[in-house]
Structure 1
Amino acid sequence: MNTEITPKLVLGPVLFHWPAEQMTDFYARIADEAEIDIVHLGEIVCSKRAPFFDPLLPDLIERLQRGGKQVVLASRALVMSERETKMTAAQIDGAEESGFMVEANDLGAVRRLAGRPHVIGPFVNVYNEGTLAYLARQGAVRICLPPELPGTAISALAKASDVPLEVLVFGRMPLAISARCFHARAHGLHKDSCRYACGADPDGRTVNTLDGEAFLAINGTQTLSQTCLNLIGEIPDLRATGIGHFRLSPQSLDMVAVARIFRAVAEQRLEPAAATPQLATLVAEQAGDLRFSNGFIHGREGRMLVAARLGAPEAA
């Protein structure tokens, strides 16, 4: 294992439309109790939600910094209109003036951030060494890889990278984002008059196949995995390849407890075999129908649960 890299835990932005009180309470606990190094803040899924979240930002940032967390501001994952382009430009310029790093989640933000230090989020496709090198030349100082990459690709990119790489290790996986609002359509509404239907599903709305099998989850305009990614068993191998940043994506679970478990494994104070049942118990108590998966990193279907290092699939 590459023990020279000090592992860091990163909390990605909340993907869901949570009420202001829930959002405030969530980040207060993260600030005061969570063993997390870096927190990414921002409404990245839907610009219509921004007026609910943006007014909270000053207090959230102050609370997180007081708790010793580094704050990174996350940009929108899909910019579709002139209004959203202006919103993204104002966010990037405002962040620079205030001394904050920005996470770019679309190529328009990458272009605007060129020449300035920034982070690349998992919504920007980084599948090969050429893309990795290009983004580093543009000013990227940390790159979060897409969750669908197999372990062999992660290892190859880690060997070729001159900047720290990050891997999503917990949470529903972002798979796609669209101009259409799936939540609005599910409620018989149009996107412009959606009534913020996505707020009724704090962890996304499950989509079933025609046979009634839970398959995906929708979150407004976003498609997520129905399963919860859990790479606790793969962390030793990821560290050995040179990965030092591990991202947790917020769910309406006790993310302080989740972070504590992942921190202990990343710092080699807890074996993955002992951590796995702890996570399973936590999820069973708080979200009994949420299943774990790790198929992508093993070169399998993302929804599969594969025994770490063994490649033996189990039904998820």
Structure 2
Amino acid sequence: MSNGSTPPAPRRRLRGTLLVVVAAVAVVGLGGWLVWRSPGAGGEPPRAGGISGHGTGHRPAGEDGGHGSRGSGPGKGQGSLRGKVVVIDPGHNPHNRDHGREIARQVDIGNSRKECDTTGTSTDDGYAEASFTLDVARRARTLLQKAGAKVVFTQDGDRSYGPCVDKRAAIGNRAHADAALSLHADGSAAGNRGFHVILPARVTAGPADTAAIVKPSRRLGERLADRFHAITGSARSNYIGDGTGLDVRSDLGGLNLSTVPKVFLECGNMRDPKDAAQLTDARWRQKAARGITEGITDFLEH
């Protein structure tokens, strides 16, 4: 064993050999990179995330958003109704009962004259239709606004009475609504159960002309009935509409005087104990709002 300070000759030769090998690898690597970057040899490097310039890459999970019960398909998320106007007409008014003379005034609905408004019905234990319609309307407004829609109310409990049925139609017309919905609950006999949607008939008389809205209103009503049934679990009416949940009428000023697609939704029968149990349940009313929102969304997106 040597004890001098000069390294043995073989170690110097090994170090020199390694330096030559490293330099050669660097030159070869640089040359390959230059060839790969050349115009005819493979194009640009891939973009971060794997999404090409034509948008064909996979989106991150959940990017499209969507309604909770419907999955996350395109167009179902927040903002899918951006630019759309929805008018919601909460039927009656909690203060109508204090303004009997005012709401009894007759107004022109085209083919006849009817009362300005009515007090509406109630459950046997006193839950008023006007309170029900406002609650569901406000819940639906929140969901529709989350989807990007502009929501206009005909009344929000902020009027002393009404407005009259002709004014309710006029509010939707002035707003150029893409869809309008009047919310109600029925006051039929016990045993009559389920919801139904009222569609406008063809009426052309006086200030009424529904010719342009009959077909789109039917589509709105059909979508609404389908989604309302699916989300709430409520049956279609067993006493109106022959099992379809759809009814056509020509005696409602809110429909006769509308120039935009519009329907009425009778959410159930307040005088039937089983229906009343649903209508008075806040959790069910939230489902009703979801069904309404999804029905309107289906109509506006197709």
TM-score (norm 2): 0.23
Higher strand proportion (structure 1 or 2):
1
